[in-house]
Amino acid sequence: MDKKRIILIGRSMAGKTTLCQYVNKEEIKYYKTQTVHLINDQMIDTPGEYLERRYLRGALSVSATDADMIMLVQDATEDGTMFPPGYASMYCKPCVGVVTKSDIAKDEQIEHAKQYLKFAGAQEIFVTSSMKGTGFEELVKSFEKDTQRGD
Ligand SMILES: Nc1nc2c(ncn2[C@@H]2O[C@H](COP(=O)(O)OP(=O)(O)O)[C@@H](O)[C@H]2O)c(=O)[nH]1
Ligand SMILES: [Mg+2]
């Protein structure tokens, strides 16, 4: 079974790097009982500037060519979003959405963040908190499911 590569896309301070660390931790735990072929170097972390600056968006597309799946990372406390509706469609790859910072967001903000990700084209959405360590187990499980489907 091939390892799946996932590229993380989201603005600066969205929590991408923190998410990578947590997924990796969860992965190590999960690996003991199940077969998940995802390790830290399978996660492609990207700078927020790639999304924020128009002239760098090409760099994001190039970085994504090696990825099997894209992960849109949305900070629940962000007012609005950087992802336009249909954003994921230009990648032509499966897309998951992750809402971060649920620990410091209001329920309403979390709902908005989920909506943004849904409009952007995320097929599955996970709500996480790296502060509380919640939501990562489900996220990691979804990678395995997708990997099997992909093979
Ligand atoms: N409260 C809270 N803070 C978070 C969470 N995830 C990330 N952060 C904080 O948000 C800031 C930016 O995180 P970072 O992973 O560097 O974002 P990146 O720029 O997208 O890589 C850091 O200060 C993190 O500690 C979370 O789930 N909850
Ligand atoms: Mg970062």
130 lines ligand 1 (CB under 6 A): yes
The vertex-103 CA angle with 83 and 40, nearest 5°, equals 65
Nearest CA to ligand 1 atom 14: 15
Q: Are 112 and 104 in contact (CB under 8 A)?
A: no
pLDDT, one tens digit per residue, over 53-67 is: 988 888 889 889 989
**Structural domain boundaries enclosing 62:** 6-150
Query: Does 101 map to a domain?
Result: yes
Query: Does 127 map to a domain?
Result: yes
Q: What is the CATH number of the domain that holds 29?
A: 3.40.50.300
Q: Residue range 61-77: average pLDDT?
A: 93
Query: Does 18 map to a domain?
Result: yes
Give the pairing type, strands 95-100 and 124-127.
parallel
Q: What is the pLDDT of residue 39?
A: 52
Q: What is the pLDDT of residue 149?
A: 45
Q: In which band, very low, low, confident or very high, does the pLDDT at 150 lie, cut at 50, 70 and 90?
A: very low
Query: What average pLDDT is seen over the chain?
Result: 86
Query: Does 1 map to a domain?
Result: no
Q: In which band, very low, low, confident or very high, does the pLDDT at 146 lie, cut at 50, 70 and 90?
A: low
Q: How far is the CA of 14 from the centre of ligand 2 (A)?
A: 8
pLDDT, one tens digit per residue, over 91-139 is: 999 999 999 999 999 999 999 999 999 999 999 999 999 989 999 989 9
14 lines ligand 1 (CB under 6 A): yes
Residue 74, both tokens: 């949305």
- The number of distinct structural domains making up the chain is 1
Q: Give the C-alpha distances (Å, rounded to integers) separating 94 from 31, 77, 102, 147.
A: 23, 25, 24, 11
Query: Does 85 map to a domain?
Result: yes
Query: Does 112 map to a domain?
Result: yes
Q: What is the pLDDT of residue 3?
A: 64
